């Protein structure tokens, strides 16, 4: 695992956007796995700026969602499908058919999970997966105690994560209780994992991820098992590293 400490979130976004630019030069139709939440926004902004100034050609890139709420009506602005369309797909000038994600409104959610794992494999697998990290060490919505071998499946959010995500909704009652998330085993199949963590609130989770034992209690620690994992942290999020 490579750990890179940068000055701030903007610098982290620029660094990771540079990495994605290099990937797209080598493989123009690369499949990029994207996380939602606040942390990756500087990455998407930096990548969009490069596309707009012509230094990156992302026209053949493909985008894959990491997770999705269960039960939000189609088109709900806070569904992760809507969010990724708004924050990544549209700014990069891609069309909806260059974008894939699990169906959080499916009647048979289990079948939708299996279909998504299959679709990822059929698409050739994720080339670069962008990850954030929860204050409790979750990646995607693999909360503490998730199996490190897990596949895409339905999960119940912890109260902490619902509280953390309530800022995107009018009130906490609107935050769904269930999500579909790529499993940790699914995430580990991506060729390159890039986790960005910023702010002091993530410092403890980062320390556990990088320096603690590999443990289901800290799902992000599974990155230690991956042959090509990069953890980019700002100085605040690095503050508890030894």
- H/E element holding 208? helix 203-211
Given the residues 14, 68, 117, 136, the one annotated as active site? 136
For ligand F6R, the closer of residues 51 and 133 by Cβ is: 133
Q: Which two tokens stand for residue 42?
A: 């500087």
Residue span 40-69 as binding mask against ligand F6R, x where in contact by CB under 6 A, dash where not? --------------------------xx--
Report the SS3 class of residue 46: helix
Given the residues 117, 138, 192, 234, the one annotated as active site? 138
For ligand F6R, the closer of residues 39 and 209 by Cβ is: 39
Cα separation, 138 vs 107, in Å, equals: 26
The interface with ligand F6R within residues 115-134 (CB under 6 A) comprises 132-134
The interface with ligand F6R within residues 134-173 (CB under 6 A) comprises 134, 138-140
The CB-of-35 to ligand F6R minimum distance in angstroms stands at 4
Q: Which two tokens stand for residue 128?
A: 């670069």
Cα separation, 88 vs 106, in Å, equals: 23
136 given a catalytic annotation: yes
Given the residues 14, 117, 127, 143, the one annotated as active site? 143
Q: Does 87 bind ligand F6R (CB under 6 A)?
A: no
Pairing state between β 99-100 and 62-65: parallel
CA distances from 131 to 39, 172, 194 (A): 9, 24, 6
Residues with a known catalytic role: 67, 136, 138, 143
């Amino acid at each position: 695992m490579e750990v890179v400490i940068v000055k701030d979130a903007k610098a982290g976004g620029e660094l990771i956007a540079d990495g994605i630019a290099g990937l797209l030069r080598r493989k123009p139709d690369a499949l990029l796995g994207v996380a939602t939440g606040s942390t990756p926004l500087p990455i998407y902004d930096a990548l969009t700026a490069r596309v707009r100034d012509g230094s990156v050609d992302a026209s053949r890139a493909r985008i894959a969602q990491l997770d999705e709420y269960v039960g939000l009506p189609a088109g709900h602005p806070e569904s992760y499908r809507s969010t990724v369309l708004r924050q990544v797909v549209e700014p990069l000038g891609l069309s909806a058919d260059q974008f894939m994600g699990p169906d959080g409104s499916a009647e048979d959610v289990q079948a939708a999970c299996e279909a998504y794992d299959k679709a990822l494999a059929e698409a050739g697998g994720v080339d670069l997966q962008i990850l954030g990290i929860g204050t409790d060490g979750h990646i995607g919505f693999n909360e503490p105690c998730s199996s490190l071998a897990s596949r895409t499946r339905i999960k119940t959010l912890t109260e902490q994560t619902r509280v953390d995500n309530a800022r995107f909704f009018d009130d906490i009652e609107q935050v769904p209780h269930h999500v579909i998330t790529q499993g940790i085993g699914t995430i580990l199949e991506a060729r390159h994992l890039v986790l960005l963590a910023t702010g002091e609130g993530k410092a403890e989770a980062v320390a556990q991820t990088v320096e603690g034992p590999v443990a289901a209690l800290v799902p992000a620690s599974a990155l230690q098992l991956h042959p090509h994992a990069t953890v980019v942290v700002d100085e605040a999020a690095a503050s508890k590293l030894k």
